[in-house]
């Protein structure tokens, strides 16, 4: 994680777009935000934002309303949404089972190492909420 902080990276695109969209939804004075508005604010493609929001809706993090007057809103308060929950809702890239690659004798240990790191990573993400992102982001912007 220190490398990400030093380099200024936001992580995978799907992850930071989701987190930033949730922040926008949290801060919105409007009842519903349209995906086009969210996409414009984030500098992302509207179809990409809709795909992310649809996944977050299935995970009951976001509520989606169709139709001309439709849009998106949070399904929970910002305090109830953990960053880890968002990560797990969207982080569905398939892993490579250690037994599916040609063996060098190290695959099982590498698998264990990656599993442990992933658990620690998710534990760290679970310690933060969307509310904290808003609070800390606002304090950093004024520093």
CATH number, domain of 104, equals 1.10.10.10
- Rounded Cα gap, residues 55 and 35, in angstroms: 13
pLDDT digits (tens, 9 = 90+) for 43-55: 999 999 999 999 9
Residue 99, domain extent? 2-138
- Rounded Cα gap, residues 120 and 124, in angstroms: 6
Find the helix or strand (DSSP H, E) in which 6 lies: helix 2-7
The pLDDT value recorded for residue 2 is 45
Q: Percentage of the chain surpassing pLDDT 90?
A: 62
End-to-end CA distance of the chain: 22
Residue 123, in any domain of the structure:
yes
Query: Model pTM?
Result: 0.83
Q: What is the mean pLDDT of residues 75-84?
A: 96
Count of alpha carbons within 13 Å of 135, Cβ hemisphere only? 7
The pLDDT value recorded for residue 5 is 47
Residue 28, in any domain of the structure:
yes
Mean per-residue pLDDT of the chain: 87
Q: Residue 73 gets which letter from DSSP?
A: E
Residue 23, in any domain of the structure:
yes
Residue 143, in any domain of the structure:
no
For residue 43, CA distances in Å to 46, 102, 129 come to: 9, 42, 23
Decide if pLDDT at 86 tops 60. Answer: yes
Decide if pLDDT at 1 tops 50. Answer: no
The residue assigned the tokens 């996409």 is 39
pLDDT digits (tens, 9 = 90+) for 7-48: 457 678 899 999 999 999 999 988 899 999 999 999 999 999
Residue 72, in any domain of the structure:
yes
Residue 54, in any domain of the structure:
yes
The structural domain count of the chain equals 1
């Amino acid at each position: 994680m220190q490398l990400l902080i030093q380099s200024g990276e936001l992580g995978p695109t799907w992850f930071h777009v989701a987190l930033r969209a949730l922040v926008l939804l949290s801060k919105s004075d409007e009842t519903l935000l349209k995906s086009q508005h969210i996409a414009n604010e984030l500098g992302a493609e509207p179809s990409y934002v809709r795909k992310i929001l649809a996944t977050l809706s299935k995970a009951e993090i976001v509520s989606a309303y169709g139709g001309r007057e439709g849009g998106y809103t949070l399904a929970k308060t910002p305090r109830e949404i953990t960053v880890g929950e968002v990560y797990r809702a969207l982080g569905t890239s398939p892993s490579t089972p250690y037994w599916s690659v040609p063996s060098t004798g190290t695959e099982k240990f590498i698998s264990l190492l990656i599993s442990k790191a992933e658990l620690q990573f998710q534990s760290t993400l679970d310690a933060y909420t969307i509310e904290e992102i808003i609070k800390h982001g606002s304090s950093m912007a004024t520093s």
